Homo-oligomer: A and B are copies of this chain.
């Protein structure tokens, strides 16, 4: 394939493995090669013919995190339900190991599945683009970071975050900080943008205060300490995930700061942890099952040939009021 693409084998391997940056030009040439060569699946003569009877869900997560996050189980229940009345089997793959990318691409584009649903691909991942280049229907669950024409289904992370911060401000809080997720993930970037929009539109002396975490409990604990250093008098925190909110709560309780009396706290995700901690966590719920079902509908639409158009679907979130804010 490398020879055909006019790039070195090492470059082709870098493209597939994301092991190092490659130029746009090299990526484009590998893309063309993928389209032309054996990687391309043999499309059925009649567009829309059911070729393999299976739809793949590729989760960009290692097996352990995959199993510990209720998001994926809700999502797959939604996907399975949507496929129930069709003819397709659901096959699930996890993709954490960079070194395995060539074999993953070969499988997904080798005529073994009718379409691919990507869950949380990273912005620098060439896989979505290469699958699309091979002519395989593909939809991303979660907005891809890289600008492009990849169809996606996502929750309204920006609106959900802005709504959570609005709620804090309307209930009388004056100094709202945020624990943001990684800014190189769309879910991190969009929730931060929502916080910033709400704070900037607020009347009065609300000032932005941002600390970053990686969506884990431990990172929430540390980010909460950082927020208190940056803004000692803050009276509310919007955490971009429930796990980070749980970490923040741990820090606040260790410092004997009362929640919600002294500091109100809102999370995001309506994870199982939200009802395991006390006070019960106010949070933003995504319609995960519905997102899974909608992504399947988009995928089957592409497979039927009813538009390779850029389906970009953003679904509404709900603020779930409990005891922490």
A interface residue numbers (CB < 8 A to B) = 52-54, 56, 63-64, 67, 73, 76-77, 80, 84, 87-94, 97, 100, 103-104, 106-107, 110, 112-113
In the complex, chain B residues whose CB is within 8 Å of the CB of A76: 63, 67
Q: How far is the CA of A67 from the CA of B90 in the complex (A)?
A: 15
Contact assessment for A63 and B91 in the assembled complex, using a CB-CB cutoff below 8 Å: no
Contact assessment for B112 and A54 in the assembled complex, using a CB-CB cutoff below 8 Å: yes
Interface of A is mostly: mixed
Q: How far is the CA of A100 from the CA of B93 in the complex (A)?
A: 20
Contact assessment for B92 and A52 in the assembled complex, using a CB-CB cutoff below 8 Å: no
Question: A89 contacts which of B64, B67, B87, B93 (Cβ < 8 Å)?
Answer: B93
Q: How far is the CA of A67 from the CA of B307 in the complex (A)?
A: 34
Contact assessment for A92 and B89 in the assembled complex, using a CB-CB cutoff below 8 Å: no
Q: How far is the CA of A93 from the CA of B54 in the complex (A)?
A: 10
In the complex, chain B residues whose CB is within 8 Å of the CB of A92: 91-93
In the complex, chain B residues whose CB is within 8 Å of the CB of A112: 52, 54, 112-113
Residue of B nearest to A112 (CB): B112
Question: A103 contacts which of B56, B80, B89 (Cβ < 8 Å)?
Answer: B89
Contact assessment for B63 and A89 in the assembled complex, using a CB-CB cutoff below 8 Å: no
Contact assessment for B73 and A110 in the assembled complex, using a CB-CB cutoff below 8 Å: no
Residue of B nearest to A73 (CB): B67
Contact assessment for B84 and A97 in the assembled complex, using a CB-CB cutoff below 8 Å: yes
Question: A91 contacts which of B53, B93, B106 (Cβ < 8 Å)?
Answer: B93
**Shortest Cβ-Cβ A-B pairs, 3 listed:** A67-B73, A91-B91, A112-B112
In the complex, chain B residues whose CB is within 8 Å of the CB of A89: 93, 100, 103-104, 107
- Interchain residue pairs with CB less than 8 A apart (21): A52-B107, A52-B110, A53-B106, A53-B107, A54-B107, A54-B112, A63-B73, A63-B76, A64-B77, A67-B76, A67-B77, A80-B94, A84-B97, A87-B103, A88-B103, A89-B100, A89-B104, A90-B93, A90-B94, A91-B92, A112-B113
